[in-house]
Structure 1
C-alpha cells in the first residue's frame, strides 16, 4: 500500500468512499476534492 500526501488548500473534504462519497466527489468535479476512505473505493456499496 502506498500513501501520497499533498497539500491542497481550500479543497472540500469528502469522508467515505462508498456510493454517497463517490457521488459527492463527482458532483464537485472538476474542482480538486480530497476523498478520505479506510477501504478501497466502492467497497461500501450494497444493492
Structure 2
C-alpha cells in the first residue's frame, strides 16, 4: 500500500473514532442538556 493511502485510512479512522467517542461522552454526561439544545425544545414550543 502507498503511504498516502495508509495516512488517509488512519485519518478517517481517527475522525470516526473521535466523533463516536465525543457523541457517547456528550450523551452520557449531559443527556438532558443536549436535548434542551436540540430539536425536542423546538417541537415542545410549537
* TM-score range for the pair, normalised by the shorter chain length: under 0.3
TM-score by length of 2: 0.27
Q: Return the structure number with greater strand share.
A: 1
Does 1 or 2 have the higher relative contact order (CA < 8 Å, sep 6+)? 1
Q: Which has the larger radius of gyration?
A: 2
Q: Return the structure number with greater helix share.
A: 2
TM-score by length of 1: 0.27
